[in-house]
Structure 1
Amino acid sequence: MLSRIFIQNFALIDTLEITLNKGLQVITGETGAGKSIILGALRLILGERADAKSIQNSATKSIVEAEFAINDNLQ
C-alpha cells in the first residue's frame, strides 16, 4: 500500500508531501489544481520514462519518492 509520496521540482510543484493512512484516500480539487501532476509522479515511480519537460527548474534536480507499506500476511 502506498503510504507516502514526496515530490520536489516536478512540473508545477515546488515541494509536496502526502502521507496516506489506511483506508480510502481521495484527492479532489478544481481543474488545474495539480491532481494529474501527482498521478504523473506516481507513474514515474512505477517505471514510466521521465520527460525533461516535467522538470520545473532545470538548474535543480527533480525528486519523486514513495514509501510503500508491505503486508507480510498476504492471503
Structure 2
Amino acid sequence: MEYTFYIIIIGLLLSPISLAYEVNKVFKSTLMTKEEIRRYVIIICALPIFGIVLYRQAESRKRKERYFGNKEEGQRW
C-alpha cells in the first residue's frame, strides 16, 4: 500500500513535465508570448502538487477521526 502511494506520486509529478513539454511545442506554433507559455506550464505543473496536498489533508483528517472519534460540529481541535 505504501509503495503504491509513492508510485502514484512519482507518476503525478512526472506526467505534467511531459505534458508541459508537449504543450510548449504546441504553444510555440501559436502567437503566444513566452510569459503566457510559462504561466500555463507552471499551472499545469502545480495542479498535481495541489491535489497531493489536498489528499494528504484528507488522510490526516480521517486518521484523526479514527483515533479520537467524530467531534461535534461546534467543537474544534
Please indicate, yes or no, whether the TM-score normalized by the shorter chain is above 0.5: no
Q: TM-score, normalised by structure 2?
A: 0.26
Q: TM-score, normalised by structure 1?
A: 0.26
Higher relative contact order (CA 8 A, sep 6+): 1
Larger helix fraction of residues: 2
Answer with 1 or 2: which has the greater Rg. 2
Larger strand fraction of residues: 1
